[in-house]
Amino acid sequence: MKIRLASLAAGAAVAASSVMWAALHPVVLLNAMVPRTDYNRFIGMPYGQDARQRIDVYQPRADRSGSIQNAHRAIVVFFYGGSWQGGNRKDYRFVGEALASRGFVVAIPDYRVYPQVVFPGFMHDAAEAVRWASDHAAMYGADPARIFLMGHSAGAQIALLLATDRSWLAQAGVSPRALAGAIGLAGPYDFLPLTDPTLMRVFPLTVRAASQPISFIEGGEPPVFLAAGLRDTSVDPANTARMARKLREQGDLVEVHEYATLSHEMTIGMLAAPLRALAPVIPIAPILDDITAFIHRHPFR
């Protein structure tokens, strides 16, 4: 489930047929090519005392009238992946730019990972990061009652568990009604039993059952967007199918998008501006367009 940074753009090789993007375009190069002119970036605001409890915010730049305010502008809280063992918010500038370019305020937190914490330690951090985003949304021109949770891989598990197990946000003082939607990319939502020795330590046996987003679906969840790359060999796309089926059984709104050419890494990598720029040249999964349309379809909860 780790994002292999050197192979982040591997799926573009499928589309281009011959180019080894994995070797040529690691995330550092993708971020180096990200535009700097269409958003304001605020770095390292604390939402807790630990060095890992920091958050970056991407705010769309002022329009021609000089206004950055929009009464109904959504704020997207994005949780990156890394097998609950690593990751850094600074590596996801390309995600912040992508969503800010569509008019959304974006908050990207770090959170404590194994071995510093085990489950549910990172869930406490995630909930507190959402609380911070709710408290500060208006400061950045967003609506605190229009929060979208979004994650990739392990981050999708975190985002969807926050959306389904209402206790996490409640403990942090956030009303579940503030969630306008949840977006999961290549996520593990129903991944027991575990066989990997490290993951068995990340998720101790006594609390392991509480880590499964699918187990908490009971109806009344916010609208959900689920995406899976059918070339994903890290997280079984069947996780997405099972999650969607359970949501529908409980009467929840869910969109499922399956992208035939995308690998695990590329379900997030395709948001990067350098790869989006290839769209006129080669067939590319319109994942950013699909996410944007989903957010616009759900202005209120």
The answer for residues whose C-beta is within 8 angstroms of residue 217's C-beta and 6 or more apart is: 164, 243, 246, 247, 250, 252
For the chain, the average pLDDT equals 89
User: Is residue 3 over pLDDT 60?
Assistant: no
Over range 9-16, report the average pLDDT: 40
Domains of the chain from N-terminus onward: 5-296 (3.40.50.1820)
Over range 124-137, report the average pLDDT: 98
User: Is residue 244 over pLDDT 70?
Assistant: yes
User: Is residue 169 over pLDDT 50?
Assistant: yes
Task: Say what the pLDDT of residue 7 is.
Answer: 44
Considering the entire predicted model, what is its pTM? 0.89
Q: What secondary structure, in 3-state letters, does 225-248 show?
A: EEEEECCCCCCCCHHHHHHHHHHH
Task: Say what the pLDDT of residue 26 is.
Answer: 62
